[in-house]
Amino acid sequence: MPEMPELEVLKENLERLIVGKSIEDFRIIKPYIQKTLLPDDLIGERVAGVTRRGKYIEILLASYRIVVHLMLAGRFKIQPKEKEPLKSSAAFIEFDNDNTLHLVEDAKLKRMSMWILPKGKGTDDIKELGPEPLSEEFTIDRLVKLLSGSRERLKNFLLNQRNVAGIGNAYADEICWQAGLSPFKQANKLSADEVARLHGAIRKTLIEATAQTRRLTGKGIEINETRPFMAVHRRKGEPCPRCGTRVQWVSTTARDTFYCPRCQTEGRILKDGRTSRFLKGN
Ligand SMILES: [Zn+2]
């Protein structure tokens, strides 16, 4: 599932391809993708820009904005206009050059969504989002306030888009590791020093991952999501890059969490399941 770094690179590369182009045709192939009605006057609108807010990509037009959430496996694909739509195309936009932008979906569940909103209505109208983690407004003070108002575990705090926008399961693991904090630590119990470490870890992890993803992907819009640079996420049994201890894995309700016991949990191995005393006591 793409998170902030992958979506940031997607935004940059999509921008390069479609800004300045006019829409000649717009078709919905699979109705599930469509969360709003298709306006009649969309044809002829020119792309003014592409932005990202949290995990949403927004294509800005003169009178509308097209907002897309890729969820688990949605993708964008550019094809020459004369080519038949792909089997997995859920919608496509034909531009006044040779290109058609396809919104492609491979998943059966948690599929991608698209909203077409009048200009001025943005993603915050769809879902209330917390600050962008790499923006100036995301200060340590802001993080202190967000943490103190939360009764969540640290990993769940990071995953909650109302706290900070754009972080998912993979980068939440990496951020906790980078900060040297247990993913199950209670968010409102972090010390001042731990909050500062967390703030630095969020920024460092996301800045570095964005640079790496940019390098791995190149100029295309099929984003490289292999993430070979990750330290603990999906690295069970491999040595922690910081201390060499084997990375551990714990499964809770809906998610897998990866961590280094030496760097993050004072050597404790966390037990599976919600009733574990380690999870409760941590
Ligand atoms: Zn370690």
Looking at the chain, the whole-number percentage of residues with pLDDT higher than 90 is 84
Do residues 209 and 150 share a domain? Answer: yes
CATH code for the domain of 34? 3.20.190.10
For CA atoms 226, 232, 237, 239, give the dihedral sign. positive
Do residues 184 and 234 share a domain? Answer: yes
Do residues 99 and 159 share a domain? Answer: no
Using the predicted structure, report yes or no on whether residue 216 has a pLDDT greater than 60: yes
- CA distances to 92, 134, 167, 197, 202 from 180, in Å: 44, 20, 18, 8, 12
Mean pLDDT for the stretch of residues 252-269: 91
CATH code for the domain of 246? 1.10.8.50
Do residues 230 and 165 share a domain? Answer: yes
Asked which of 68, 95, 126 is the last residue of a domain, the reply is: 126
Query: Is residue 235 in some structural domain?
Result: yes
Mean pLDDT for the stretch of residues 219-224: 94
In angstroms, what is the span from residue 255 Cα to ligand 1's centroid? 21
How far is residue 85's CA from residue 73's CA, in Å, rounded to a whole number? 18
Lowest mean pLDDT among 8-22, 70-84, 143-157: 70-84
- CA distances to 3, 191, 209, 249, 260 from 266, in Å: 29, 16, 27, 15, 9
Mean predicted lDDT score pLDDT of the chain:
93
User: Which of 122, 142, 121 has the alpha carbon at shortest distance from 133?
Assistant: 142
Query: Is residue 32 in some structural domain?
Result: yes
Query: What is the distance of C-alpha 71 from the center of its chain?
Result: 9
Query: Is residue 266 in some structural domain?
Result: yes
Do residues 167 and 259 share a domain? Answer: yes
Do residues 175 and 254 share a domain? Answer: yes
User: Which of 63, 74, 75 has the alpha carbon at shortest distance from 23?
Assistant: 63
Do residues 151 and 275 share a domain? Answer: yes
Cβ–Cβ < 8 Å for 130, 146: yes
Confidence band, pLDDT 50/70/90 cuts, at residue 275: very low
Main-chain phi, psi angles of 93, to 5 degrees: -125, 120
pTM, two decimals, is 0.93
Do residues 152 and 269 share a domain? Answer: yes
* Residue 2: active-site member: yes
Query: Is residue 168 in some structural domain?
Result: yes
Lowest mean pLDDT among 7-16, 142-151, 155-164, 253-262: 253-262
Q: Which of 21, 30, 204, 255 is catalytic?
A: 255
How far is residue 161's CA from residue 97's CA, in Å, rounded to a whole number? 37
In angstroms, what is the span from residue 260 Cα to ligand 1's centroid? 5
Mean pLDDT for the stretch of residues 98-117: 93
Query: Is residue 227 in some structural domain?
Result: yes
Query: Is residue 132 in some structural domain?
Result: no
In angstroms, what is the span from residue 195 Cα to ligand 1's centroid? 19
Using the predicted structure, report yes or no on whether residue 276 has a pLDDT greater than 50: no
Do residues 146 and 266 share a domain? Answer: yes
Asked which of 59, 92, 126 is the last residue of a domain, the reply is: 126
Range of the domain at 267: 140-281
In angstroms, what is the span from residue 198 Cα to ligand 1's centroid? 16
Q: Which of 11, 53, 55, 185 is catalytic?
A: 55
The answer for residues whose C-beta is within 8 angstroms of residue 164's C-beta and 6 or more apart is 130, 131, 133, 138, 146, 158, 202
| Tally of structural domains, the chain | 2
Asked which of 126, 152, 187 is the last residue of a domain, the reply is: 126
Do residues 207 and 247 share a domain? Answer: yes
* Residue 3: active-site member: yes
Do residues 103 and 214 share a domain? Answer: no
Mapped to the 3 state alphabet, what secondary structure does 59-83 carry?
EECCCEEEEEECCCCCEEEEEECCC
How far is residue 239's CA from residue 247's CA, in Å, rounded to a whole number? 6
Query: Is residue 75 in some structural domain?
Result: yes
Using the predicted structure, report yes or no on whether residue 273 has a pLDDT greater than 90: no
Query: Is residue 120 in some structural domain?
Result: yes
- pLDDT given at position 127: 87
Do residues 118 and 207 share a domain? Answer: no
In angstroms, what is the span from residue 268 Cα to ligand 1's centroid? 12
How far is residue 239's CA from residue 108's CA, in Å, rounded to a whole number? 35
